[in-house]
Amino acid sequence: MDTKEIKSTVSNLEKSSDDTTILKLLNILNDGVKPSEKLLRETKVGMAVNKLRSSNNGEISSLVKKMIKTWKEAVQLEKSSKKKPSQPQQSPKGSPTSSGSATPSNKPAAPVAAPKPGSTNSKFHSGPRNPKTDGINTALYDNSTRNASIGALYTALAIEREETGEHILSVAREIESEVYKAEYASVNDNYRNKLRTFTMNLRNKKNPELRARLLTNQITPSNFIKMSPNEMAPEALKKEIEKLHKQNLFEAQGATEKRAVTDRFTCGKCKHKKVSYYQMQTRSADEPLTTFCTCENCGNRWKFS
């Protein structure tokens, strides 16, 4: 598959909600994508596929994990092959150069540039990402608690992400700064508890959407620190809560008595005949039903058997 085809398939995948369609598209990508670091960055196919890692469908989740693992290994192999120096060609036995010293190459070896900190950070980083493995310095303040908070936020934000270390650090620093300002520039118990809560929510592997929204600026750090736990919850959990709420509401509505309106009864108070009523068994089974009436004109209520 070329870049255009992959992007088109990714677009269809992001729009799909049916498990059968999603599986079909995932299998197309699994069979058609020949992973390389450049291709994965251009198409962002890894990000789109990785969002389905926490799917409730076991087949989808399993396939996604397999694809991500395969692509990760392929990219790591590609990086290793680029870094591996070419071996000098050995002269065959009996050749004039085999007994003497090897003739030096006229072409000097090109110097290998040291990687910049954070420049190779990606979702395919080998092992969990943290400031130390990414070469990021989080000692930004004289206060060790503030520095530790930024480090914890960085580690949480970097889970399964491909953004550079510098970008992740800037978001982590903004979140910590907003909490610090909210506590009147003080490192107190409220400061610690808030940052602990935010870090735990960001570390939730079932909530990649929250990390993505922060790192793509869909949520600003100033708004993030004002969010409730329900607002931070994973989309799947939000849908489950909404489903339960609707079900409880439906059951509560179903439990109310159904009223009918008739002109067979006359209100003893205003003499109007528009009366709503319902019946209920309030006594033993061999007794007649009790009729409860309400005048739709004046609100007067009465009952009779």
Q: pLDDT digits over 167-180, tens only?
A: 999 999 999 999 99
CB count within 10 Å of CB 88 equals 8
Strand partners for 260? 277
Residues 138 and 231 grouped into a single domain: yes
Which residue, 269, 268, 260, is CA-closest to 292?
260
Show the CA angle centred on residue 153, arms to residues 150 and 158, nearest 5°. Answer: 125
Domain containing 293 — which CATH number? 2.20.25.10
Which residue, 261, 259, 264, is CA-closest to 278?
259
Signed CA dihedral, 203, 207, 210, 212: sign only: positive
Q: Domain end: 80, 114, 144, which one?
A: 80
Strand partners for 278? 292
Digit-coded pLDDT (tens) for 46-78 = 888 888 888 888 888 888 888 888 888 888 888
pLDDT at position 126: 57
Residues 210 and 271 grouped into a single domain: no
Residues 231 and 300 grouped into a single domain: no
Backbone φ, ψ for residue 295 (5° rounding): -75, 125
Owning domain of residue 43: 3-80
The verdict on residue 227 lying in a domain is: yes
Rounded to an integer, what distance in angstroms lies between the CA atom of residue 43 and that of residue 34?
Answer: 12
The verdict on residue 39 lying in a domain is: yes
Mean pLDDT of 232-242: 74
**Number of separate domains in the chain:** 3
Rounded to an integer, what distance in angstroms lies between the CA atom of residue 78 and that of residue 15?
Answer: 31
- pTM of the predicted model as reported, rounded to 2 decimal places: 0.43
The verdict on residue 116 lying in a domain is: no
